[in-house]
Structure 1
Amino acid sequence: MLDFAIFAVTFVVILVGAVLYLYPSSRRASGIPGLNPTDEKDGNLQDIVNRGSLHEFLVGLHQDFGPVASFWFGGRPVVSLGSVQQLRQHVNPNHSTDSFETMLKSLLGYHSGMGGGPTETIVRKKVYQSAIDNTLKNNFPLVLKLVAELVGKWKSFPEAQHTPLCAHQLVLAIKTVTQLALGERFGDDDAIISFRKNHDVIWSEIGKGYMDGSLEKSSSRRGHYEKALSQMESMLLSAAKERKAQRKQVAFVDALIQSSLTERQIMEDCMVFTLAGCAITANLCIWALHFLSTSEEVQDRLYQELDEVLGSDPISLDKIPQLRYCQQVLNETVRAAKLTPVAARLQEVEGKVEQHVIPKETLVIYALGVILQDSDTWSAPYRFDPDRFEEDSVRKSFCLLGFSGSQTCPELRFAYTVATVLLSTLVRQLKLHQLKGPVMEVRSELVSTPKDETWITFSRRS
């Protein structure tokens, strides 16, 4: 009888497995509505490629299947949440990690410390966040200096000269992030050039190559990427060892060295901060200046607030919280530009959204780009309107998405500080003007960027 029971159970398991293998159309991710895999090995990868980006794929997915939808990433079922209401219902106790950081580390292949239990993860997160906060406090004059150099350069240009935003803001971001993260060795142009070369290769591939599968299909690209990643890791390890020998306590890496983190963990955290910090800071500044150039009224209101709060004094860390309209401008920039359109978490325990059960260890995508332009949450979602953030309900929704409050991505908090310094310095001296031409297109990867170089002009304030 026992032998028969074992045979029966084995037969059922084999039968179910055969059905799932031979008839992929019968498979659903935990019964959640969504796409069946179009390929047994790649899942819906080709569908993502056909839509041009993961964000555009998620837009179509939620239009077809509603706010809770599923698809397949390779052989793995994925659940995507596409509205504030569903995000609010999502039950997942893994609040010890940042969803953007988790996704970035996974793409880089970094897992040290991620399986050490919730206590270790929380401690590491606190060290990371504290290191960023202390770095800003210790190096705020350096941020002022780097921003003043850029604005001074722009002031020296003839009026109406076309200025490339992307190029200038990426350089500002790299200089700011590397010097605050790793110290004065990155005040040297050669070190900046070397960093940028590897940064561009790594970010390009993790932003697109992994997401559309093209990196795995090109051995030459894969080799180029792995070389750049290896060189960047060596550079970061070398910088950490140099700082350890000097026993300084000013830069981001210094705080990590003082903690109980391993050498490998220090390198990984430096990699995450420099990669994410540069991309998010550069693109927040790019989009903020672009949107300001489209509205003289917003510029004038921002100028008035800066004049009332700061007068002729330079901005300081303690004054930043008083610049409420500036905060609204940056919040609306993040929303309108869909700055980080995708984030992800691994479901640590079984959860539930509406009537849908999300099994343990399911990858859950937060379709932030979809949510940020959802007309049920935002009135006139495609209009740049900083005034919307005067409403408490809007601020709460924004906080829930991880763009403000205690759950804010540390790199985004850093970027807000740099962007506030930039706007407070620039708007009091120059007016921004948009160039007439084609509407700027967005490239939505891990961090949204303009598809092409963005040009504006300046005129001096009287």
Structure 2
Amino acid sequence: MLDFAIFAVTFVIILVGAVLYLYPSSRRASGIPGLNPTDEKDGNLQDIVNKGSLHEFLVSLHQEFGSVASFWFGGRPGVSLGSCAAATPTHQPQPQQYVVHTGTDLQADSFETMLKSLLGYQSGMGGGATETVIRKKMYESAINNTLKNNFPLVLKLVEELVGKWKSFPEDQHTPLCAHLLGLAMKTVTQLALGESFRDDAEVISFRKNHNSEIGKGYLDGSLEKSSSRKGHYEKALSEMESVLLSVAKARKAQRKQTVFVDTLLQSSLTERQIMEDCMVFTLAGCVITANLCIWALHFLSASEEVQDKLYQELDAVLGSDPITLDKIPQLRYCQQVLNETVRTAKLTPVAARLQEVEGKVDQHVIPKETLVIYALGVVLQDSDTWSAPYRFDPDRFEEESVRKSFCLLGFSGNQTCPELRFAYTVATVLLSTLVRQLKLHRLKDQVVEVRSELVATPKDETWITVSKRN
């Protein structure tokens, strides 16, 4: 589980590194209140390290300088937006209380950019705007079609896990991270790559490279300092790419059209581009799905009241029938639970864009080529936007203003990344199946730290117990 956490943690470094790598540097000062560089070369990087994470650094930065603050990421000036108003990256007219941040590239997906930079993928990153939009739509369409075609498989995998938990004695400690990472890996690989990943041996082999090697080493610099470490990484990446390429060739010969890779094979994408998109989906889809499910069950185990309210909705909408794709929109409280999980756990506390043209937020001018950080972890627990921000309270999403704030930040609606939409579907199937059959109980005296990185992960394993519903 620690390797999985390290993989998630390194996304922050890679996200910012991707933005910096793709664009030339600028030394022009922003004029926005903030920190001076503590080192000519590294800027405020040591300050970030001293705080323990980029998120904790941004929390401190905004406490000192307000909702719009500047700092230096290496030799590049950066601006962090730390309120719902400031961090709303949209050109569309908004209500008066929202301040518009203009001049960013809204087509690029920071999560995809980050992963492609980590993996050394460049195809599709330097193409024209039209090509980028077309490829992005194709990627999203492939995920949506995969869910529609394979929803019974998602339900089957979830039912297998719930059946396993039902067989446990009531005092047995159930490891959330291990079980839900396994569920996410099985779901994503089978929906992305097809029935060959119904073989547990294939999943275990893929998971070994996925968890233990890809991304590991960036946090402490060992990938660059150690030739053997770099060799392990390159071997793991090569093995994963080889598997994806062979799967694509086999699926093309069979002319099937049921899973993610099949939709890409019907397009004009090159073999390399198809492999890259499969890699991004399997990596991002697994990480986000696992973490959403882990935190949702963790929070539910600590709140019998929320569990009971969710059970009542599930019973009213579904009765004793299995969930279906068309029933998901009717589960409004379940959606609120997942929204509040994303918010409370700060599932994606950092995003980044490059200011491609001169922009403005509030009274501040943001110069061209400034790195703009959306401090979403700060925004998601901003007391001016959220009442009792540190409390897990799905009922807050009954308010239209709260739902709108969440949507504007990109966690719901059209701006949601496709991997998060996928994760919401899997998590809804899990909750609808599990909560109607079992009650979740948190272990006494267990302390779980919400890690404040790009993708939140429990510090170590998280344990619960389960009991059957009467």
- TM > 0.5 between the two? yes
Q: Indicate yes or no: 2:348 matched with 1:340.
A: yes
Structure 2 CA distance for partners of 1:34 and 1:215, relative to 1, 3 Å = farther
In structure 1, what is the Cα distance between the partners aligned to 2:346 and 2:166? Answer: 30
- Describe the SS at the equivalent of 2:224: coil
**Equivalent position of 2:6 in the other structure:** none
Larger radius of gyration: 1
**Equivalent position of 1:366 in the other structure:** 374
C-alpha deviations, 1:196-230, integer Å up to 9, x for none? Answer: 1111135543xxx5466564344443333233222
**Equivalent position of 2:282 in the other structure:** 274
**Equivalent position of 1:395 in the other structure:** 403
**Equivalent position of 1:55 in the other structure:** 55
What is the Cα deviation at residue 295 of structure 1?
0.7
In structure 1, what is the Cα distance between the partners aligned to 2:213 and 2:453? Answer: 13
The alignment covers a number of residue pairs equal to 433
What is the Cα deviation at residue 65 of structure 1?
2.0
Structure 2 CA distance for partners of 1:424 and 1:409, relative to 1, 3 Å = same
**8 Å Cα contact 2:407/2:415 also seen in 1:** yes
In structure 2, what is the Cα distance between the partners aligned to 1:39 and 1:200? Answer: 34
**8 Å Cα contact 1:29/1:78 also seen in 2:** no
**Equivalent position of 2:316 in the other structure:** 308
- Describe the SS at the equivalent of 2:145: helix
The aligned runs of 1:182-261 (5 Å cut-off) are: 182-202=193-213, 204-205=215-216, 209-210=217-218, 213=221, 215-261=223-269
Aligned residue identity for 2:113: T
Out of 317, 334, 339, the residue aligned to residue 326 of structure 1 is: 334
What is the Cα deviation at residue 361 of structure 1?
3.0
Out of 453, 456, 462, the residue aligned to residue 445 of structure 1 is: 453
What is the Cα deviation at residue 101 of structure 1?
2.2
**8 Å Cα contact 1:54/1:211 also seen in 2:** no
Aligned residue identity for 1:60: S
In structure 1, what is the Cα distance between the partners aligned to 2:255 and 2:104? Answer: 38
CA-based RMSD: 1.7
Identity of aligned residues (%): 84
C-alpha deviations, 1:165-203, integer Å up to 9, x for none? Answer: 000000000000000001111111121111111111355
- Describe the SS at the equivalent of 1:340: coil
Gaps of 5+ in 1: 1-26
Q: Using the TM superposition, name which of 40-49 and 187-196 deviates more.
A: 40-49
In structure 2, what is the Cα distance between the partners aligned to 1:439 and 1:229? Answer: 35
Structure 2 CA distance for partners of 1:307 and 1:273, relative to 1, 3 Å = same
What is the Cα deviation at residue 452 of structure 1?
1.0
C-alpha deviations, 1:105-144, integer Å up to 9, x for none? Answer: 2333323212212111110111010000000000001000
In structure 1, what is the Cα distance between the partners aligned to 2:237 and 2:71? Answer: 30
In structure 1, what is the Cα distance between the partners aligned to 2:414 and 2:103? Answer: 17
**8 Å Cα contact 2:214/2:233 also seen in 1:** no
Whose relative contact order is higher, 1 or 2, with alpha carbons under 8 Å and at least 6 apart? 2
Aligned residue identity for 1:227: K
**Equivalent position of 2:155 in the other structure:** 144
Q: Using the TM superposition, name which of 353-362 and 366-375 deviates more.
A: 353-362
Out of 115, 122, 125, the residue aligned to residue 111 of structure 1 is: 122
Q: Indicate yes or no: 2:136 matched with 1:128.
A: no
- Describe the SS at the equivalent of 2:136: helix
Q: Indicate yes or no: 2:185 matched with 1:174.
A: yes
Gaps of 5+ in 2: 1-26, 89-99
**Equivalent position of 2:363 in the other structure:** 355
**Equivalent position of 1:386 in the other structure:** 394
The aligned runs of 1:24-35 (5 Å cut-off) are: 29-35=29-35
- Describe the SS at the equivalent of 2:441: strand
In structure 2, what is the Cα distance between the partners aligned to 1:350 and 1:302? Answer: 47
- Describe the SS at the equivalent of 1:352: strand
**Equivalent position of 1:17 in the other structure:** none
**8 Å Cα contact 2:87/2:375 also seen in 1:** no
In structure 2, what is the Cα distance between the partners aligned to 1:219 and 1:61? Answer: 36
What is the Cα deviation at residue 308 of structure 1?
0.5
**8 Å Cα contact 1:45/1:212 also seen in 2:** no
Provide TM-score, normalisation by structure 1. Answer: 0.90
Structure 2 CA distance for partners of 1:166 and 1:158, relative to 1, 3 Å = same
In structure 2, what is the Cα distance between the partners aligned to 1:399 and 1:63? Answer: 25
**Equivalent position of 1:432 in the other structure:** 440
C-alpha deviations, 1:250-291, integer Å up to 9, x for none? Answer: 110111111111222212211111111001000100000000
In structure 2, what is the Cα distance between the partners aligned to 1:77 and 1:51? Answer: 19
Structure 2 CA distance for partners of 1:395 and 1:271, relative to 1, 3 Å = same
In structure 1, what is the Cα distance between the partners aligned to 2:390 and 2:233? Answer: 36
In structure 2, what is the Cα distance between the partners aligned to 1:412 and 1:141? Answer: 20
